[in-house]
Structures are given as C-alpha cells and as structure tokens.
Amino acid sequence: MTAARLRAALGRPALGACCRILIGGIFLYTAGPKLLRPDEFARLVYGYRIIHPDLVNLAGITLPWIELVAGVFLVIGIIPRSSALVLAGLLGLFIVAGFLALVRGLDISCGCFFPFMGDHKLDWDLLVRDAILIFFALQVVVWPSGFVPNRSRSEGKGVSSG
C-alpha cells in the first residue's frame, strides 16, 4: 500500500513538470558558457584524465551542445523521455568521471558550472548533487509528465496528460 502511494506520488504530473524544468533548466544554464568557450571547457575535460588527450577537444565541442539540445527539448517537451535519458546518462558520466578523479587525488575544477560562474572544485558533495539530479531526470523517464504537448505520447509509453 505504501509502495503504491509512493509510486502515485512520484508519478504526479506536477512533479514531472517540475523535474523537467529543473533538470532542463540546469543544463541550459550550464551549457551556455561552455558553448562560448570550447577551448576552456576542453581543458576542464582534460583535467579529469579519463579521455585520451587527442579527444578532449572533441568532447569540449560536442558535450555542451548535447546538454543544450537535450535541455531545450526537455523544458519545452519534445521527446522528453529521450532527453531526460540523455541528461541522466550525462549525469552518470559526470559521477563516474568525478569519482575516478577524486579517488586518484586530482585537485581540479569540476567544470560543472564553469569558471565564469565561480571556480567550483570537484568534491564529493558535487557527486551527491549529481546523484540527486539523476533521480529527477529518471522521474521523467519513468513517469512521463503531463503538462507537455501530446507529441510526447509518441515516445512509446502512455502519458497521463495533466
């Protein structure tokens, strides 16, 4: 009974809409500066030491655009489940990369909010934050929200329109 209530609460359309706007908005906010300075973002990616140095530029060029497009799609309700899945995947990637950097003792900027907005050092709190954000993203994946255009129905799962 409790589990059913929990599922019902998590599946509320209003909660889904909040999750969509929150996750999409955060990625929109953070993608902008990265788009303006791909060279700087590539340096931050380089600092994690998990991508071959030859490929850090490519990551610095493409990752912000993936964040931007998925963020926009999520906020305005275009393929919201796919967009949320992509952003959940990125958050998972950030957690793995951050974990590997921290256990190796790297003292680096996280790159998450970029230096233009303050120099955020990578720490365990940021991994916890990303883990919480994954929950919000997965809420959209599992319980596609109402308050989105009907086109979201085409993503393969019934949608409760709110």
Partner 1 sequence: MIVGALALVIGSAAIGIVVNQVSPRGIPLFSTTAAADSPPAPALPKGMRGVDLPEARSSFDEHAALFLDARSPEDYAEGHVPGALSLPAYEFDGRFPGIADRVEEAQSIIVYCDGVECSDSIHVAERLVEYGFPDVSVFESGWRAWAESGAPVSEGAEP
Compare residues 22 and 58 and give the one whose CB is closer to partner 1: 58
Compare residues 15 and 108 and give the one whose CB is closer to partner 1: 108
Instruction: Give, in degrees to the nearest 5, the angle at Cα 139 between 152 and 81.
Output: 30
115 to 154: interface string for partner 1, x by CB under 8 A = x---x---------------------x-------------
Query: Quick one: three-class SS letters along 124-137?
Result: HHHHHHHHHHHHHH
Give the dihedral sign, CA 24/22/144/7.
Answer: positive
104 burial via Cβ count (<10 Å: 0-12, 13-18, 19+): exposed
84 to 103: interface string for partner 1, x by CB under 8 A = -xx--x--------------
Give the dihedral sign, CA 23/26/27/28.
Answer: positive
| 76 is a contact residue toward partner 1 (CB under 8 A) | no
Structure tokens at 46: 């380089």
**Which residues from 2-61 bind partner 1, rule CB under 8 A?**
36-40, 42-47, 53-58, 60-61
Compare residues 15 and 142 and give the one whose CB is closer to partner 1: 142
Site of interaction with partner 1 (CB under 8 A): 36-40, 42-47, 53-58, 60-62, 64-66, 68-70, 73, 79, 81-83, 85-86, 89, 108-109, 115, 119, 141, 155-157
